[in-house]
Amino acid sequence: MFVQPDFAEKGIGRKLHNLMMDWYFSITDKTVWLGTSPDTRAEIFYMKSGWINAGVVNKGEIKFEMSIAAWNNFKKNKMQEPRIIRNTITINAPAIKVWDALTNPEQTKIYMFGCETVSDWKAGSTLLWQADYEGKNIIFVKGNILKIETGKHLTYSVFDPNNKSMEDIPENYLTVTYDLSEQNGQTILIVTQGDYNTVADGERRYKESYNNGEGWNPILVQVKEISEL
């Protein structure tokens, strides 16, 4: 199963896969199998989707099997509600000024632990968060712009490239969204980050980011202060 590049990293493939499996086991209880090349994104996808490695087939391809019992067990234990951090703040400033605080590198370094944004702010482009640390310029977070509507909406992916224990693959990137809505000179900013249920080491990463319920709030308070100057 493949998803066109423009629709990658949006959870569409996983939703299609789950619909396909539900449909298949609604008409039969026979075990199904497939083959895919080793050391690929497809291999990781099927492993995370509950398929069982059943050996080698077709000149070195990995054979994955799924029984109705395995699928039902996977749905019961793994297909949880998305684990998303969500924070909202009302800012007494127009949306375009809040947008500047969120994207202008001179502004982000004030509240984002010294990190400046590096991007051309186009869909598909790289987004880096970098800062000077002990005399060296370090990229602390990297990702890509997935969707952008200036002054209104931004979706981007995030990954810590300095965590050598985690594989740098799309499945391990979290997604952050900014939604801005303006009314009567005020802007409501909603920030989300997740899904922690779909990435490696998700439980630990969630607890660190959730921060006893604070989530993005400490950062949003500073964004508000900057925007209202």
Task: Render each residue's pLDDT in the chain as its tens digit; 229 residues.
Answer: 777 877 777 778 888 999 999 999 999 999 999 999 988 888 888 888 889 888 888 788 999 999 998 898 888 766 667 889 999 999 999 999 999 999 999 999 999 999 999 999 999 899 999 999 999 999 999 999 999 999 999 999 999 999 999 999 888 899 999 999 999 999 999 999 998 988 889 889 999 999 999 999 999 999 999 999 9
Q: In the prediction, which pLDDT does 34 show?
A: 93
Instruction: Give a three-class secondary structure readout of the chain.
Output: CCCCHHHCCCCHHHHHHHHHHHHHHHHCCCCEEEEECCCCHHHHHHHHCCCEEEEEECCCEEEEEECHHHHHHHHHHCCCCCCCEEEEEEECCCHHHHHHHHHCHHHHHHHCCCCEEECCCCCCCEEEEEEEECCEEEEEEEEEEEEEECCCEEEEEEECCCCCCCCCCHHHCEEEEEEEEEECCEEEEEEEEECCCCCCCHHHHHHHHHHHHCCCHHHHHHHHHHHCC
Residues 180, 111 share a domain: yes
Residue that is last in its domain, among 77, 100, 130: 77
Range of the structural domain that residue 190 is part of: 85-227
Residue 99's domain is classified under what CATH number?
3.30.530.20
Residues 207, 102 share a domain: yes
Residues 196, 147 share a domain: yes
Count of structural domains within the chain: 2
Q: In the prediction, which pLDDT does 44 show?
A: 85
Question: What pTM was computed for the model?
Answer: 0.69
Residues 127, 67 share a domain: no
Q: In the prediction, which pLDDT does 79 show?
A: 65
Q: In the prediction, which pLDDT does 45 show?
A: 87
Q: In the prediction, which pLDDT does 77 show?
A: 67
Q: In the prediction, which pLDDT does 214 show?
A: 96
